[in-house]
Structure 1
Amino acid sequence: MEKLHGTQVLLRLLSEDDVEPLTAILAQPEIARWWGVYDAARVRKELLESELPAYAVEVDGEVIGSIQYDEEPAPDYRHAGMDLFLSSDRHGRGYGSDAVRTLARHLIHDRGHHRLVIDPQVTNEAAIRCYESVGFRKVGLMRAYERGPDGRWHDCLMLEVLKDELT
């Protein structure tokens, strides 16, 4: 689907016009802390041209971030994962929860998933609170799971939500 409507946000598939605002958002220190260094070429390659569906997160016509998902297609293990970033000046307003909930509903109701996962670094407390607010639960610690922008390996949490647990 090209557009998904949340309560506060609109999710729409990325376009070339989104490269500049997303590059600026990813350059914010609070975002770069988790995502690393992005220039326009990397945004274009990893978000716009990726095989993974990626959406711009909009509020009142302004791009405030991006959310994307991936799917495990094997029938016996079918599930989807997602990832999100929002402009740091938009944190704490419910936009992240609304974006996650909106994409989760699409993945469950339109794409047929019964289980969704997300895997923030254990120290990303704001992201964890956001995901828990829509029903994700901590199910495990993944040690030395992700290489951070600092070049070191960091622990991440595995959080999941089942179809009937989404709030």
Structure 2
Amino acid sequence: MILFQTHDISVRKLEAQDAQLLVKWLSNPDVLTYYEGRDRPHDLQLVIEHFYEDRGEITQCIVQYKSNDIGYIQFFEIDEEEIEVYEYKNFKGKIYGMDQFIGETTFWNKGIGSLLIRESVRYLINHRGAQKVVMDPQSWNTRALRVYEKNGFIKKKYLEKHEWHEGEYRDCWLIEYEVEMRRN
């Protein structure tokens, strides 16, 4: 089921037969450098556990570019724990979180990630009622941070030792796209 399609990007819901794609992408050390960690290559069993079992309210999708499966994206309303950590207790609107990666490395550095972020945020605002969209990329990932900032995200809070990656807790940035700010 396609959630949205625009320009050359489409995002469709994850299906059972996509498990082998995830194995391929999440066993590639280049991809794992940025997503999950090189010390955590995924075989089929780990993909099933991580992406197919008890995923709650997370919308999981495959990213397509010109009809080619090239990556993964997921989005979700943030939970009470994240509301606490991110200091959103006084915010009354819907806040969505988002995670993504391009698994086909031949599609890196072509502007596709930027297009994906822009269109995904638009989808969350127009179809899911998001008033804020947040992510928490690792602070060392300057390439991703540039893409997010180019598409309207701003750094809100430095999260020390926030995410386990390659044998240690890494610092992250809470970044935010706020709908009200963008309407002015």
**TM-score after normalising by structure 1:** 0.89
* Counterpart position of 2:87: none
Residue pair 2:157, 2:173 contacting (<8 A) in 1 also: yes
Which of residues 101, 106, 111 in structure 1 aligns to 2:123? 106
Aligned pair 1:139/2:156, yes or no?
A: yes
Which has the bigger relative contact order, CA under 8 A and spacing at least 6?
A: 1
Q: Give 1:25-36 correspondences, 5 Å limit.
A: 25-34=25-34, 35-36=36-37
| Stretches of structure 2 lacking an aligned partner (at least 5 in a row) | 81-90
Residue-by-residue CA offset, 1:20-58 (whole Å, 9 max, x unaligned):
122111222121123132222222332244221111001
Moved more, 6-15 or 75-84: 75-84
Deviation at 1:135, TM superposition (A): 0.7
| Matching of residue 39 in structure 1 with residue 43 in structure 2 | yes
With 2-11 and 56-65 compared, the bigger mean Cα shift is at: 2-11
> Structure 1: how far apart are the matches of 2:128 and 2:157?
25
- Output the amino acid matched with 2:13: L
Contact 1:6/1:99 (<8 A) preserved? no
Question: Structure 1: where are the runs of 5+ without partners?
Answer: none
Q: 1:63 is matched with which residue: 55, 69, 81?
A: 69
Structure 2 CA distance for aligned equivalents of residues 8 and 60 of structure 1 = 5
Shift in Å, 1:102? 1.8
Deviation at 1:77, TM superposition (A): 5.3
Equivalent residue runs for 1:11-160 within 5 Å: 11-34=11-34, 35-36=36-37, 37=40, 38-49=42-53, 50-51=55-56, 52-72=58-78, 76=92, 78-87=94-103, 88-148=105-165, 150-160=166-176
TM-score (norm 2): 0.81
Q: Give distance in 2, aligned partners of 1:19 and 1:106.
A: 25
Alignment root-mean-square deviation, CA: 2.0
- Find the aligned partners of 1:47 and 1:6 in 2 and give their Cα distance: 25
* Matching of residue 161 in structure 1 with residue 177 in structure 2: yes
| 1:4 aligned counterpart, secondary structure | strand
**Could you tell me how far apart the structure 2 residues matched to 1:79 and 1:117 are?**
7
Identical columns (%): 28
Higher Cα Rg, which structure? 2
Runs of 4+ in 1 over 4 A off after TM superposition: none
